[in-house]
Amino acid sequence: MSSLADDTRWLDATAQAELVSSGEVSASELTEAAIERIERLDGALNAVNLRWFDVAREAARSSELPAGPLAGVPFLLKDLNSHMAGTPMTNGNIALRDAGFTCSTDTELVARFRSAGLVTLGRTASPELGTLPVTEPIAFGPTRNPWDTSRTPGGSSGGAAAAVASGMVPVAHASDGGGSIRIPAACCGLVGLKPSQGRITTGPFRSETGLGVELVVSRSVRDTALVLDAVHGPGIGDTVIAPAPTGSWSAAVGSDPGRLRIGRSVHGAVGGASRPRSRRTRRPPRPSPC
């Protein structure tokens, strides 16, 4: 592995963006370093199923690369619902893979990733249609955890988590309905935030009324905050819109939160929804194990 690929491997996205903005490293150099790491590391992990390195190289050296807060930072999209014009997408499905489906337009979130200056190198593995908490699509085979390749990285954003945890890229697109950001983040030791419904637009192909939301997995809280600052907000036609933030999430990182209160439930659900219980009420018997 070249010195730059090795030196930047564990830098988070914020640090890599600072290298580009200072002129110390170019976007093209960061892109080549990330490509080298993917080619070197992914054989053991099977995390990056679709690659468009030449497209990424062209974007990185273009004078039209947006000067956003993440300009020049290598990035990967999840292979699920994240349309990027001119690129293939399979949703982990054999039929879409074999048909060579190509996206005709960007989703609004992908357009915002572009505007932030991220350079997208390809797509990370997802279980078919994102339906499982592990990443083992028949179309591409299982993705492995970089900490222990005999174990799963979780799912459905398992490819994204494996790519970030192994140091291929510092941050990667992820989505979450029932845990698909949080499970792989936990399995791979990453930061995984499921944003509030309506915080990130899912238009124009999906509705904000469902459980599914999108953001990233990363190696630092400040990276997740920086991406959230760059891409949050409603899109045209959104039917669910989260309240506007009162400030920057990046600015809040490291600030004193003040005195905190933690709530916990002392009531278990037996035979239905849990009910408030006074001190005089006897605890109901626990159900027998299955």
Task: Check 180, 218, 220, 250 and give the catalytic one.
Answer: 180
Q: Higher confidence at residue 181 or residue 267?
A: 181
Contact 103, 87 (CB under 8 A): yes
**Considering the chain, what percentage of its residues have pLDDT values greater than 70?**
92
pLDDT in tens, 1-12: 889 999 999 999
Structure tokens at 262: 């933690």
Is 180 catalytic? The answer is yes
| Mean pLDDT computed over every residue of the chain | 92
Locate 276 and state its tokens.
């408030």
pLDDT in tens, 63-110: 999 999 999 999 999 999 999 999 999 999 999 999 999 999 999 999
**Pairing between β-strand 213-218 and β-strand 119-124 as defined by DSSP bridges:** unpaired
Does 194 qualify as catalytic in the annotation?
A: no
Of 28, 78, 126, 166, catalytic: 78
Q: Mark whether 78 is an active-site residue.
A: yes
Identify the structural domains of the chain with CATH numbers, from first to last. 3-252 (3.90.1300.10)
What pLDDT shows up at residue 266?
A: 87
**To 10 degrees, the CA torsion angle through 150, 153, 159, 163?**
-80
From 126, 156, 157, 220, active-site residue: 156
Q: What is the pLDDT of residue 278?
A: 42
Q: Is 95 helix (H, G, I), strand (E, B) or coil?
A: helix
